Amino acid sequence: MRGLYVYANASSCYAAGLASGLAGEPLRRVGRGSVQAVAGELPEPPEPGPSCLAAHDATVRRLAAQVPALLPARFGQFLPDEEALLRWLSSHERELTGALDRVAGCVQMTLRVFAGPQAQETQPAEERGGHLEGGPGTRYMKRRRREVEQQHALPEIAPLRVALRPLLRDERIERATAPGPLRATAYDLIAGTAVADYSRIVSETALDLPGWRVTASGPWPPYAFAPRTLA
């Protein structure tokens, strides 16, 4: 069952040479429109083990170092032949083009927020008196609104987010659902030239977040900013 394994998508104007893929297979560009896929031919989909995952990521990193605008494909995107891949590209061309414009010249930094023993949980103003105002329906709607807003914010480390704001081109925030010290992860899209400033701001501002510990890693290819259709 041979097929094409997709590593990333790039603008069709990209003309640099390509390296090999996770199994040493030659990579090639596939596409007729404004977006091309970077893929390699494999006899079967790779197994999702640590070595293959690492090899996939290493391939994407090599491509990201060469391509000004790259959307990494998540592990396991395998299509039966070139025509199937061309149909997929055509059906998602507008979405992919917009996403490539957004990540051009950018990298991803990953910020993780951990609660320490002295962490002070942030309470919305309307709850500081011990209750939400209004009737049952109003209180329910306020609670639901707060929960939705919290999924896209990090009030625990607000001073750090304010300091980083001028560098952010885009962001994705995921709140942790499992119990434990990890409370949230922020995926920050920044210009490739801003990595040193980002790291400096994190290291300096993190000292003023008593009870909370933050870690920053990167730069990475912008995995978190690829459209869900790439999954």
Residues 51 and 122 in one domain: no
For residue 219, whether the previous peptide bond is cis, meaning omega lies within 30 degrees of 0, is yes
Domain that holds residue 199: 106-225
Question: Is 166 domain-assigned?
Answer: yes
Question: Is 221 domain-assigned?
Answer: yes
Residues 28 and 134 in one domain: no
56-87 pLDDT, tens digit each: 999 999 999 888 899 999 899 999 999 999 99
Residues 13 and 94 in one domain: yes
86-110 pLDDT, tens digit each: 999 999 999 999 999 999 999 999 9
**Domain count of the chain?**
2
Residues 116 and 215 in one domain: yes
For residue 169, give the CATH number of its domain.
3.30.70
Residues 118 and 216 in one domain: yes
Give the pLDDT confidence score for residue 125 in this predicted structure: 46
| pTM as predicted | 0.82
Q: Which residues of 99-137 are buried (b: 16+ CB within 10 A; e: fewer)?
A: bbeebbebbbbbbbbbbeeebeeeeeeeeeeeebeeeee
pLDDT surpasses 50 at 148:
no
pLDDT surpasses 60 at 151:
no
Mean pLDDT (the chain) is 86
Residues 88 and 126 in one domain: no
